[in-house]
Amino acid sequence: MDFADLKPGDEMTVTLSGSKATCRAQVRELRPGFVIGVLWNSIAQRWNTCGRGVAIKPFRVVAYHGPD
């Protein structure tokens, strides 16, 4: 599975590691087989841009939210 036509800045909903909870994620960089993204911090109401981001594999994606 690939990541369709995602581009940096696109959003998706992903499952969190070891959990059934979901979270918004924003694509930062496309890599073969996964993307580097940042997760939405609902408490601070901002993207968690600290560090290098997280690796998001296709099986964690619940939904894509492309441009309108």
Cβ–Cβ < 8 Å for 14, 22: yes
- Condensed to tens digits (0 to 9), the pLDDT of residues 3-54 reads 778 899 999 999 988 888 999 999 999 999 899 999 998 888 999 877 789 9
pLDDT of 66 higher than 70:
no
Q: Residue 63's closest CA among 12, 27, 25?
A: 12
Give the per-residue pLDDT at 5.
Answer: 80
Task: Write the burial class of residue 14 (CB in 10 Å: 0-12 exposed, 13-18 middle, 19+ buried).
Answer: buried
Give the per-residue pLDDT at 18.
Answer: 82
